[in-house]
């Protein structure tokens, strides 16, 4: 498959031709104006004499190609996003001059104009393979090289890259019209950066614009002084200035924690964190200059869950500086080595080096629930996934690569011991520094330090799909003394692998002094095969709850014994430990999704537990699970009654919550998702919050919360387009434009849905974030009559979307526009038919559709269970 979708075979063939040392001199001209920028790349490399290969490049125009002093005809050598190179010598130099295009999709070099002040901001995003959108390159991770970047830009701008600035030269030239949005043209500067260490192309980065900046230093453990900086848009500078010192402190704690834990000091010259607009991901680990979505600049109140997630994200990207950047996978099948490790170690660092001590409860409630959902889809895959081409890579940034992999690494640490695990990591990092490595390389080092044979462990945990279930059965005598505790492990029929687990069993009883349910005993053991008898439990008094997988050491579904389940359901709100609550709650949610636990019962126990829950992420996910259950899983005949009771329950809990608390904020926000057009009480509450005649003490109705209310009013037709435009006119910003588009798409009318559908598919001027906002608003209205007409339209549009949009935009459309409130029987019938007729479609496309249709199949299955319950 030629062109943009590089295959693994092609990458291996190119690696067999191209040899190091590879060096790039990249010169970018950001003063051209309009939609384009100039790019000149000179690449030196060794090769097999007489061989042929190609450079990757996505450009509007290629004006010059020179290979070893010979000018080539660009029209003859540039096609299908590749520059063909024939007749190579032992030592080669190729120069490619091109006109490349700024993106508004978050891929390549993204250009964003802030409507609040007209400033232009540029940032690069090159993972998976989008350095080729900015310069000619061998864009695969195992062809590491050194890079020299030179950038010409407006004099008033700030330009950053992976390395410190070597020099800045003022030029006489003037920027072209359109370079600076609504500002007048100005003279220019040329920034030249120091040569990078050996690195993969997807980790190179350029950011430019009038960013606000803050600086400090870190005394690195190797005796060097590492300069640090943080950047954001000027319009966010005032809000960000309140958090800069805190985020510098978190980062420095991460430096110290990782250097101590791995025994390898931070390896690079500087460390910048730049908060950028309209970002597709959470953040990106560019060497020395991390880009982070600027939704993490908090200009309005956010949940504690999001505040904690920002900390985890900062530490996640910092972990990548060692694991992923210093040592990089050879091909994208080992992507999990980067992401799982960063996810695991950032949670560990958050729990042990910051004030967020319940980070493992956060991980259980959030990341692990993501993994369990992903792992039970028909598209589940091994952690070490087969990646045949770049499209396969895109869809594997998922709950298995991140969350399951991190959970399995936590299990590996329990299996081999923490000290031995990190000793092996130290050897791995030192041995493979500035090069590429594989899973086999990592396991080799861990085997040497731990003395464990990890080949069988890897085969079970990393190379096989699916998730096990471990169920408990307890026998007691007349006095309530345990005579047998048996654990039974099962596996799904399509992935029949029983794994070896290192896990803990917790005994929980009521503390007579506090009334809390607390752990009174703990047993840690190996569980292997179908049946395990817990000998250590025999002779002990049976507690109220026997909790399988206490401390969440392993990755498994759990089923409590009958008596433990009954007690936990009635007393979840009384458990003292946040992680224990999370493990139990996740188990109950899993049973609900599997059609083993009544939906209305799950809603009731969850509402009760919310009254005392303090862990923000557990709270957030419980609210989401209640919403999914009430809207989709309850028997249709009872849905309206359940939804009404949930709305009333949330409003009551909000009134009882501590003024100004995270719980109050989340409860009121959640309540706003349960309105109907006929509910006059809801309209009174929502309009009253917006207009300040309904008040909760301590709850501030700030900018973002106003838009939450506006979306709720739109979803119930208690506002219109004029009302939304009037709200936007109060303060027009990048974010508020997105909110307004989403609110307009959420209007509960056929006309609004038709407008949103057309805009999402056909308005190419929308930024990535604007498109996503419209798609979310389109699908958010819980009315089958509005969703039903789009069931057939959705499947009719799939092929066109895949053909005409970039991957990220196609993914956003195909997931965001799926009409989840249409009749699931209609969706499954149409979806199954599409899949049957598209057996030869791209695997990445089929995977997106399979997962959406699988959610509708599950809805049908769970509804049928609840109709009988």
Average pLDDT over residues 21-32: 98
- Look at residue 530 and give its three-state secondary structure: coil
CA dist 663 → 355, 589, 712 (Å): 19, 20, 19
CB atoms within 10 A of CB 656: 11
pLDDT bracket for residue 5 (50, 70, 90): confident
- Look at residue 82 and give its three-state secondary structure: strand
Secondary structure of the chain: what % helix, strand, coil (to 5)? 45, 25, 30
Whether 738 is a known active-site residue: answer: no
Q: Which residue has the tokens 């290192």?
A: 502
Handedness of CA 491, 492, 497, 500 (dihedral sign): negative
The answer to whether the CB of 821 falls within 8 A of the CB of 643 is no
The answer to whether the CB of 73 falls within 8 A of the CB of 123 is no
Measure the CA–CA gap between 779 and 299, rounded to whole angstroms: 27
Whether 1 has a pLDDT exceeding 80, the answer reads no
pLDDT in tens, 161-200: 999 999 999 999 999 999 999 899 999 999 999 999 999 9
Measure the CA–CA gap between 596 and 533, rounded to whole angstroms: 25
Whether 43 has a pLDDT exceeding 80, the answer reads yes
Please give the backbone phi and psi of residue 266, each rounded to the nearest 5 degrees, phi first.
-55, 130
Measure the CA–CA gap between 802 and 819, rounded to whole angstroms: 18
- What string of DSSP letters covers 358-421? THHHHIIIIIIHHHHHHHTSTT---SS----BHHHHHHTSSTIIIIIHHHHHHHHHHHH-HHHH
Average pLDDT over residues 532-536: 98
Measure the CA–CA gap between 809 and 392, rounded to whole angstroms: 16
Average pLDDT over residues 368-383: 95
Residue 3 has a pLDDT of: 55
Mean pLDDT score of the chain: 96
Residue 392 has a pLDDT of: 87
Average pLDDT over residues 812-824: 97
Whether 869 has a pLDDT exceeding 90, the answer reads no
Residue 4 has a pLDDT of: 79
Choose among 383, 386, 361: nearest CA to 374.
Answer: 383
Average pLDDT over residues 469-489: 98
pLDDT in tens, 44-81: 999 999 999 999 999 999 999 999 999 999 999 999 99
Average pLDDT over residues 295-322: 98
Among candidate residues 107, 285, 317, 343, the one labeled active-site is 317
Residue 386 has a pLDDT of: 85
CA dist 853 → 378, 394, 495, 826 (Å): 10, 19, 20, 10
The answer to whether the CB of 831 falls within 8 A of the CB of 795 is yes
Whether 396 has a pLDDT exceeding 80, the answer reads yes
The model's pTM: 0.96
What does the DSSP 8-state code read for residue 305? H
Whether 385 has a pLDDT exceeding 90, the answer reads no
Average pLDDT over residues 215-234: 98
CA dist 74 → 96, 542, 747 (Å): 9, 78, 50
Buried b (16+ CB within 10 A) or exposed e, 532-568: bebeebeebebbbbbbbbbbbbbbbbbbbbeebbebb
The contacts of residue 612 (CB under 8 Å, 6+ apart) are: 573, 574
Tokens of 614: 């303090």
The answer to whether the CB of 850 falls within 8 A of the CB of 864 is no
pLDDT in tens, 253-277: 999 999 999 999 999 999 999 999 9
pLDDT in tens, 483-528: 999 999 999 999 999 999 999 999 999 999 999 999 999 999 999 9
Whether 563 has a pLDDT exceeding 70, the answer reads yes
The answer to whether the CB of 107 falls within 8 A of the CB of 394 is no
């Amino acid at each position: 498959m030629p062109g943009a979708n590089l295959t693994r075979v092609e990458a291996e063939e190119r690696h067999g031709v191209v040899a190091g040392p590879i060096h790039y001199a990249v010169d970018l001209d950001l003063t051209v104006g309009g939609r384009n920028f100039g790019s000149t790349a000179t690449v030196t490399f060794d090769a097999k004499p007489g061989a042929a290969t190609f450079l990757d490049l996505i450009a509007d125009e290629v004006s010059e190609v020179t290979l070893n002093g010979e000018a080539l005809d660009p029209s003859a050598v540039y096609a299908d996003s590749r520059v063909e190179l024939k007749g190579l010598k032992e030592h080669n130099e190729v120069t490619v001059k091109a006109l490349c295009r700024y993106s508004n999709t978050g891929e390549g070099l993204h250009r964003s104009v802030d409507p609040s002040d007209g400033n232009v901001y540029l940032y690069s995003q090159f993972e998976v393979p989008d350095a080729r959108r900015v310069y000619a390159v061998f864009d695969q991770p195992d062809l590491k090289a050194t890079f020299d970047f030179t950038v010409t830009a407006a004099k008033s701008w700030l330009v950053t890259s992976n390395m410190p600035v070597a020099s800045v030269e003022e030029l006489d030239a003037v920027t072209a019209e359109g370079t600076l949005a609504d500002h007048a043209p100005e003279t220019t500067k040329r920034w030249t950066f120091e040569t990078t260490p050996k690195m993969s192309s997807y980790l190179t980065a350029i950011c430019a614009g009038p960013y606000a900046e803050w600086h400090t230093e870190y005394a690195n453990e190797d005796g060097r002084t590492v300069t640090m900086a943080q950047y954001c848009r000027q319009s966010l500078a005032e809000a960000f200035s309140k958090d800069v010192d805190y985020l510098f402190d978190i980062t420095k704690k991460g430096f110290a924690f990782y250097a101590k834990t791995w025994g390898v000091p931070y390896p690079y010259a500087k460390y910048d964190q730049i908060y950028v607009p309209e970002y597709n991901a959470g953040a990106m680990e560019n060497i020395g200059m991390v880009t982070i979505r600027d939704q993490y600049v908090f200009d309005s109140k956010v949940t504690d869950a999001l505040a904690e997630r920002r900390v985890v994200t900062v530490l996640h990207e910092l972990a990548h500086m060692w694991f992923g950047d210093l040592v990089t996978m050879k091909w994208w099948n080992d992507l999990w080595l980067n992401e799982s490790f960063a996810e695991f170690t950032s949670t560990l660092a958050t729990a042990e080096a910051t004030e967020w001590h319940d980070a493992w409860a956060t991980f259980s409630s959030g990341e692990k629930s993501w993994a369990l959902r992903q792992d039970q889809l028909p598209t589940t895959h091994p952690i070490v996934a087969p990646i045949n081409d770049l499209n396969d890579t895109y869809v594997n940034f998922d709950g298995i690569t991140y969350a399951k992999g991190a959970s399995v690494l936590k299990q590996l640490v329990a299996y081999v011991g923490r000290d031995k695990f990190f000793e092996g990591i130290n050897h791995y990092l030192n041995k493979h520094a500035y090069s590429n490595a594989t899973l086999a390389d990592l396991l080799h080092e861990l085997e040497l330090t731990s003395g464990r044979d990890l080949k069988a462990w890897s085969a079970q945990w990393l190379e096989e799909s699916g998730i096990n279930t471990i169920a408990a059965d307890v026998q007691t005598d007349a006095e309530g003394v345990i005579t047998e505790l048996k654990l039974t492990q099962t596996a799904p029929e399509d992935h029949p692998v029983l794994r070896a687990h290192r896990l803990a069993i917790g005994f929980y009883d009521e503390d007579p002094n506090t009334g809390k349910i607390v752990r009174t005993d703990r047993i840690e053991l190996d569980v292997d095969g179908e049946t395990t008898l817990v000998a250590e439990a025999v002779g002990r008094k049976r507690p109220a709850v026997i909790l399988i997988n206490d401390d969440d050491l392993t990755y498994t579904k759990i089923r409590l014994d009958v008596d433990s389940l009954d007690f936990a359901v009635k007393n979840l709100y009384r458990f003292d430990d946040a992680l224990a609550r999370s493990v139990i709650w996740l188990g109950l949610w899993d049973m609900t999704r599997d059609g083993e636990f009544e939906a209305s019962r799950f809603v009731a126990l969850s509402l009760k537990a919310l009254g005392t829950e303090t862990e923000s992420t557990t709270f957030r996910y419980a609210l989401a699970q209640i919403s999914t259950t009430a809207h989709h899983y309850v028997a249709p005949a009872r849905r309206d009654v359940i939804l009404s009771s949930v709305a009333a329950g949330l409003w009551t809990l909000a009134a009882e919550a501590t003024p100004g608390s995270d719980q109050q904020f989340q409860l009121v926000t959640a309540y706003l998702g349960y309105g109907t057009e006929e509910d006059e009480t809801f309209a009174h509450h929502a309009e009253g919050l917006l207009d300040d005649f309904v008040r909760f003490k301590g709850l501030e109705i700030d900018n973002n919360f106003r838009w939450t209310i506006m979306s709720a009013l739109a979803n119930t037709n208690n506002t219109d387009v004029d009302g939304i435009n009037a709200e936007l006119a109060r303060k027009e910003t990048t974010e508020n434009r997105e909110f307004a588009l989403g609110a307009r798409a959420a209007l509960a009318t056929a006309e609004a849905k038709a407008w949103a559908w057309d805009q999402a598919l056909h308005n190419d001027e929308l930024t990535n974030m604007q498109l996503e906002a419209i798609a979310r608003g389109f699908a958010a209205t819980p009315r089958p009559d509005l969703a039903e007409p789009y069931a057939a339209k959705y499947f009719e549009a799939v092929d066109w979307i895949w053909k005409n949009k970039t991957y990220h935009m196609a993914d956003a459309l195909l997931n965001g526009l799926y009409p989840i409130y249409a009749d699931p029987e209609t969706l499954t019938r149409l979806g199954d038919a599409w899949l049957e007729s598209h057996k030869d479609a791209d695997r990445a496309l089929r995977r997106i559709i399979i997962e959406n249709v699988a959610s509708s199949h599950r809805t049908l299955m769970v509804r049928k269970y609840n109709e009988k319950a």
